[in-house]
Amino acid sequence: MKKTETAKVLSNNKLAEGIFDITLECPEVSALAKAGQFIEIYPDNGANLLARPISICEIKENALRIVFQTVGKGTKLFSEYKMGDKVRILGTCGNGYDLKNGSALLVGGGIGVPPLLETAKQLISAGSKVNVVLGFRSGSFLSDEFEKLGAEVHIATDDGSVGFKGNVVDLIKAEKLAAETVYACGPKIMLKFLSMHCEGQNMPLQVSMEERMACGIGACVGCVVKIRDEVSADGWTYKKVCKDGPVFDSREVCWE
Ligand SMILES: Cc1cc2nc3c(=O)[nH]c(=O)nc-3n(C[C@H](O)[C@H](O)[C@H](O)COP(=O)(O)OP(=O)(O)OC[C@H]3O[C@@H](n4cnc5c(N)ncnc54)[C@H](O)[C@@H]3O)c2cc1C
Ligand code: FES
């Protein structure tokens, strides 16, 4: 179920260069929220921009926390919001992760890290042992919050400025990290190589795909990905990330 709500900005903090952390008071939408889902935020600045999808980083009482990177007009506008500002949102959108019992490995790349925080919180409170692997180009953010929750945190950076020098898949192989279920969010190339590794190790992997979106509500085909489909003549079909995802079983995705 989705609702449109006028949310109130409770806080806006800069977490790192170009990374912002906003808490929105939105009792109706937050009551519907699941780990791995996202909200659509309307940039109401008269520029007529489409709503922008941003993942739920944390579900709080009557509020949602989002963490995002400024890349263009919409996210730049969001980064300038002040406490008390009103923001129109739609949510919650998408399916979210299917949280399983047992040990978990959470793998995030760059701006794919935020949705894993709520995922870790829920898995840990359900009694799962959680290992988290976070990959960044340089530096890191949110890693201390995963540690506070009780997760074992491993960091990989391209430039070696923090933790392991290299990518998340190489770190997972080097440290022989394994779990009953793997949950991931990040760039498609990272998800593809992680998928190959998990398939080889027989570890089920749920991937959150952050494709570019247009309408965000299933009305166009701006966000489709190829998903295996034995019934169709070609063996695959298009599915909409905004409606059927953003989380898919990695074995269903046609990685190209
Ligand atoms: C389901 C989902 C969840 C997301 N969650 C988050 C999140 O938690 N935090 C976060 O920072 N971002 C997230 N994103 C990406 C975010 O939606 C885009 O960065 C944002 O819409 C860009 O809007 P803009 O107006 O600032 O930039 P635009 O002016 O629209 O674009 C600026 C640049 O960013 C690129 N870009 C735009 N959208 C994407 C995208 N989806 N993936 C890669 N490049 C893109 C464009 O190609 C362009 O080069 C998510 C995307 C999806 C689909
Ligand atoms: S963005 Fe329009 S169908 Fe997904």
Give the model's pLDDT for residue 48. Answer: 67
Same domain? 102 vs 204: yes
| Same domain as 72, residue 20 | yes
Residue 213 near ligand 1, beta carbon < 6 Å: yes
- Which pTM value belongs to this model? 0.95
Residue 45: what pLDDT? Answer: 66
Predicted pLDDT of residue 215: 85
CATH of the domain at 254: 2.10.240.10
Query: If we measure between CA atoms, which residue out of 91, 97, 92, 138 comes closest to residue 119?
Result: 97
Asked whether residue 147 falls in the same domain as residue 84, the answer is no
Please tell me the total count of domains within the chain: 3
Which bound ligand lies closest to the C-alpha atom of 222? 2
Residue ranges of the chain whose pLDDT lies below 50: none
CB contact at 8 A, 242 and 223: yes
Whether 107 and 205 map to the same domain: the answer is yes
DSSP string, 13-25: EEEETTEEEEEEE
pLDDT tens-digit series, residues 29-62: 999 999 999 999 999 766 667 899 999 999 999 9
Question: Does residue 205 sit in the same domain as residue 216?
Answer: no
- 78 and 34: one domain? yes
Q: Domain range holding 197?
A: 98-209
Q: Is any atom of ligand 2 closer than 6 Å to the C-beta of 224? A: no
Ligand in nearest proximity to the CA of 38: 1
Find the CATH number of the domain harbouring 45. 2.40.30.10
Q: Is 52 in the pocket of ligand 2 (CB under 6 A)?
A: no
The rounded Å distance from CA 66 to ligand 1 centre is 13
Domain check: are 58 and 74 in the same one? Answer: yes
Burial string for 98-117 (b: 16+ CB within 10 Å, else e) reads: ebbeeebbbbbbbbbbbbbb
